[in-house]
Amino acid sequence: MSEKVWGDKPVYFKQPVRWLRYHAHVNPALFLAVSLGAAAPVLLLATPLRRKYLYSDHEPIPMVYPLPNRPRESGLKGYDD
């Protein structure tokens, strides 16, 4: 029993939207992989535009404790430092 679930395979050049819908239903994993791969260059170009026109990057989280801006005390001994 070979019933067709989605109908005949459409031709890309005649019906491109129907062709995309057909492949989104028949091969969803492949369709999403190709869609995300095609969107990657657009997202790469969007990042510098976001920095220029919308908002800049956040300040980085400090990874070390900040040192005081003064000379060290010379009279320290043992574990007082």
For residue 11, the tally of other CB atoms under 10 A from its CB is 10
Question: Which residue has 């300040």 as its token pair?
Answer: 59
For residues 23 and 31, is the Cβ–Cβ distance under 8 A?
A: yes
Total domains in the chain come to: 1
Domain coverage including residue 38: 1-47
Report H helices in 1-81: 16-26, 28-49
**Position 75 in a domain:** no
**Position 28 in a domain:** yes
**Position 68 in a domain:** no
SS3 assignment, position 52: helix
Q: What is the pLDDT of residues 37-63, one digit of tens each?
A: 999 998 888 888 888 888 888 899 989
**Position 79 in a domain:** no
For residues 23 and 30, is the Cβ–Cβ distance under 8 A?
A: yes
- Give the pLDDT of residue 79: 73
**Position 42 in a domain:** yes
Q: What pTM did the predictor assign? A: 0.48
